[in-house]
Amino acid sequence: MNEKNLLRTVLYLHHKLERAARESELSISQYRMLYFLSKGSRRAVELAMEGSIRKPSITALINTLEKRGYIERQESAEDRRAQDIRLTSSGRQAMIDFEADLQAELSSFLGEEALREADEMTAPLYEAWNSRKRAEYANWVNRSGRRKATTAS
C-alpha cells in the first residue's frame, strides 16, 4: 500500500466511523473523552490537552457526559480548588458498546480476517502515535507544574 492509499483508507474509515457514530448515543469526541478517562481520572485541562480540544469545547463535552451520567466530578484531593473527572460504570459501558458498534461496522465491510490483518498492520502506527502522545503529555505536565503525569493514551 502506498502513502496515498493509506491516506485515502484512513479518510474513508473516518467517514464510515462517523456515520456509525451518528447512529450511536455517543459522538466520536464523547467516546474519546470516555476512553481517556478509562485510563484514570483527569482534570478538564488535562483532557483538553490530551484530546487537543479547546476549553469551551471540553467544557461542553464534560457537561453533556455528566448529564448522561457517564462521568462525575469530584473535588481534587491534591487541590481543593480543582475537580477531578472520572468515568462512571455507565460511562464505561457506553464506551464498550460504542466500540462494539464501530467494530461491527468495520467487520461488515472488511470481514473478520481482513479486520484482524488490518489491526496487526496498524499496531506499529498506533504504538508510535501513543508513544509520541505520552511524551507530549509528560512535557506538558512538567512545563505546567501540574500533578504527576499519568499515562496518556
Domain CATH for 40: 1.10.10.10
Q: Judge whether 64 lies within some domain.
A: yes
Contacts of 11-15 spanning 24+ positions with Cβ under 8 A: 13/106
Q: Give the tens place of pLDDT for each residue, 115-133.
A: 888 888 888 887 887 788 7
Among 10-14, 58-62, 86-90, the range of highest mean pLDDT: 86-90
Q: Is residue 121 part of a domain?
A: no
d(CA 72, CA 66): 6
Report pLDDT digits (tens) over 71-120: 999 987 877 788 899 999 999 999 999 999 888 888 887 888 988 888 88
Q: CA-CA distances (angstroms) from residue 35 to 30, 44, 108, 126, 144?
A: 9, 14, 24, 15, 23
Is the residue at 66 inside a domain?
yes
Domain count, the chain: 1
For 49, counting Cβ atoms within 10 Å of its Cβ (0-12 exposed, 13-18 middle, 19+ buried), the class is: buried
In a domain, 49, yes or no: yes
pTM of the entire predicted model = 0.75
4: confidence class by pLDDT, cuts 50, 70, 90: confident
Which of 25, 17, 42 is CA-nearest to residue 90? 25
Indicate if the pLDDT at residue 134 is higher than 80: no
Residue 29's domain comprises 3-111
- Residue 97 placed within a domain: yes
Residue 128 is assigned to a structural domain of this protein: no
Angle between helices 89-110 and 3-22 (to 10 degrees): 130
Return the closest-CA partner of residue 87 out of 147, 26, 142, 129: 26
H-helix or E-strand containing 43?
none
Assess if residue 43 is contained within a domain. Answer: yes
**Quick check: is 139 in a domain?**
no
